[in-house]
Amino acid sequence: MLLREVEYARPSSVDEAVRLLASHEGARALAGGQTLVNVMKARAASPDVLVDLSRLDDLRSITVSGDTLQLGAMATYTQIMASSEVDVSRPILAEVAAQIADVQVRNRGTIGGNVCSNDPTNHLPPLLVALGASMTVRGADGERSVPAEEFFLGVYLTAVGEGELLLSVSVPATANAADGFASITIGRDGTCIASAAASLSEGAPRIVLGCVDAVPILVTPAAADEVSVREAVAGAELEPPSDVHASADYRRHLAAVCAVRAVEQAADRGR
């Protein structure tokens, strides 16, 4: 048998989904299944109940209201890439979504699943911290908003607690976004070995490094020039993991390279 036996529910409202998640210990939300089903196959996770979010159309919407772009947790990478709302308000999201894995993964994988799994090699956690995003989380006691900087707590660990559901991700919408993203991947569309996202849109430069710690690391250089960026990355005193793809030293070097590239891209766009 491929998977351990598991109960399955497909709620038709957010209320029902939250009720199911809160009332069953060992219940897990199922979004695109691109991570969850794989870890279930590997027996690294074995939820008792899968709460399939696929009928919750409200969680798929992408809207701009005033100066906020709101992406429902079930918006797929393909949807984000095709969205005119994203295109006019924060196009870097579409550009980075297009770099994730392959067409199959992009058709199924969701922004909510990407951030809730918080794999340190994922593309979106550093990007969303750089953009100053916030996450809306719903539990049995109601809704709360969590800044992206406080959302990622550890490897595969986020502010979404047991029995809670991520509803949406909000990003400041800005007509002249000066954002950039750079990564070094395993193969052309593969997993990131090092990544960095940069935003120069909100005054002081924000650079966020991926793959160097359990959570995205925010650094704020005094200026957006190469020397200041390298100094800020060095000042973060990174202790990245060492593995078959890169030693800790090499990953530290790549973090600085990606940070400089991401800032250069952001600066070019802000001109």
Ligand X SMILES: Cc1cc2nc3c(=O)[nH]c(=O)nc-3n(C[C@H](O)[C@H](O)[C@H](O)COP(=O)(O)OP(=O)(O)OC[C@H]3O[C@@H](n4cnc5c(N)ncnc54)[C@H](O)[C@@H]3O)c2cc1C
The contact set with ligand X (CB under 6 A) reads 28-36, 38, 53, 73, 100-101, 105, 108-110, 112-114, 116-117, 122-124, 160, 165-166, 191
Q: What's the min distance (Å) between Cβ of 135 and ligand X?
A: 9
Residue 49 or residue 267: which is nearer to ligand X going by CB? Answer: 49
Q: What's the min distance (Å) between Cβ of 206 and ligand X?
A: 19
Residue 117 or residue 201: which is nearer to ligand X going by CB? Answer: 117
Q: What's the min distance (Å) between Cβ of 215 and ligand X?
A: 15
Residue 69 or residue 73: which is nearer to ligand X going by CB? Answer: 73
Residue nearest to ligand X (CB): 113
- In three-state form (DSSP H/G/I as H, E/B as E, the rest C), the secondary structure along the chain is CCCCCCEEECCCCHHHHHHHHHHCCCEEEECCCCCHHHHHHCCCCCCCEEEECCCCHHHHCEEEECCEEEEECCCEHHHHHHCHHHHHHCCHHHHHHCCCCCHHHHHHCEHHHHHHHCCCCCCHHHHHHHCCCEEEEEECCEEEEEEHHHHEEECCEECCCCCCEEEEEEEECCCCCCEEEEEEECCCCCCEEEEEEEECCCCCCEEEEECCCCCCEEECCCCCCHHHHHHHHHHCCCCCCCCCCCCHHHHHHHHHHHHHHHHHHHHHHHC
Residue 163 or residue 270: which is nearer to ligand X going by CB? Answer: 163
Q: What's the min distance (Å) between Cβ of 54 and ligand X?
A: 10
Q: What's the min distance (Å) between Cβ of 117 and ligand X?
A: 4
Residue 125 or residue 240: which is nearer to ligand X going by CB? Answer: 125
Residue 93 or residue 232: which is nearer to ligand X going by CB? Answer: 93
Residue 126 or residue 221: which is nearer to ligand X going by CB? Answer: 126
Q: What's the min distance (Å) between Cβ of 111 and ligand X?
A: 8
Measured distance CA(36)–CA(113) in Å, rounded: 9
Q: What's the min distance (Å) between Cβ of 235 and ligand X?
A: 27
Handedness of CA 52, 54, 55, 61 (dihedral sign): positive
